[in-house]
Amino acid sequence: MFVQQNLEARSRWTQHHLALSLVQERCRQTGGVQFGQAVRFENAALNKYAHDAGCWPTVANPGADTPGRYFAAEAADVIVIHEGNSWPTEERLKGDDFGGYADYPPFTRGVLVHSQPELDRESLRMVSKHTRWVYVTEAVYRSGDSKDANPWSRLSKHLEAICAQLADK
C-alpha cells in the first residue's frame, strides 16, 4: 500500500491522523506500507503505528536526498535513497557526506529506477553492494503526462532477471 496525500496545508497532527487512518484501513490487505513524499519522516510515530497494525516492511520515500536523521529516527524499515530515470552513482549510494546514512546498514536502504528499457546488470551489481531493496522498471515517467504519470503501477519486465541476479550474489 502507498500512503501519499497533499498534506502540506494541514497541521502535523492532522497529517499523522489521516495517514494513520489509511494505514489501519489498508495495511492488513497488503502486508507492507510505503509512506510517500508528503509524510514527515522526522519521527517514528507512523512507523510504530504501522508495525502495531501488523505491517512489514514499512518503506519511506522522501522524494529527495535522504538525510541520515530519517535513519536515526527509525522512520521506516527501508528508506528510499534514490528514485529516478537513471542509476545512482556509487558515491551517492555510500552516503558518506555530512549528515548522510553511511552508518546505517544496507538492508535499511532502497533504490527505485524507472525508464530503463534494458536491465543494466553492472549497475544492479553496484547498487546491491549498498542497498538490499532494488526495483527497476522499463515503465516511463514523464512529469505532467497523465499517460506516463506512474512508472510503479505495474510489474517490471526486469523482475525475474533482478531476482535471479540478486539470488546469485
- Cα–Cα distance measured from residue 7 to residue 132, given in angstroms and rounded to the nearest whole number: 30
The domains of the chain are located at 1-60, 82-169
Q: What is the mean pLDDT of the chain?
A: 80
In the prediction, which pLDDT does 157 show? 96
Of 9-18, 22-31, 88-97, which gets the smallest average pLDDT? 9-18
Count CB atoms within 10 A of the CB of residue 161. Answer: 15
- pLDDT-derived band at 70, boundaries 50, 70, 90: confident
Condensed to tens digits (0 to 9), the pLDDT of residues 145-165 reads 777 778 888 899 999 999 999
pTM of the model: 0.79
- Does the pLDDT at position 95 exceed 80? yes
All three cell numbers of 127: 547498487
| pLDDT more than 70, % of the chain | 76
In the prediction, which pLDDT does 159 show? 94
- pLDDT-derived band at 43, boundaries 50, 70, 90: low
Give 24 or 117, the one with higher predicted confidence.
117
- Cα–Cα distance measured from residue 124 to residue 40, given in angstroms and rounded to the nearest whole number: 29
Beta-bridge mates of residue 111 = 82, 134
In the prediction, which pLDDT does 72 show? 86
Q: Taking residues 11-35, what's their average pLDDT? A: 61
- pLDDT-derived band at 112, boundaries 50, 70, 90: very high
- pLDDT-derived band at 20, boundaries 50, 70, 90: low
- Does the pLDDT at position 7 exceed 50? no
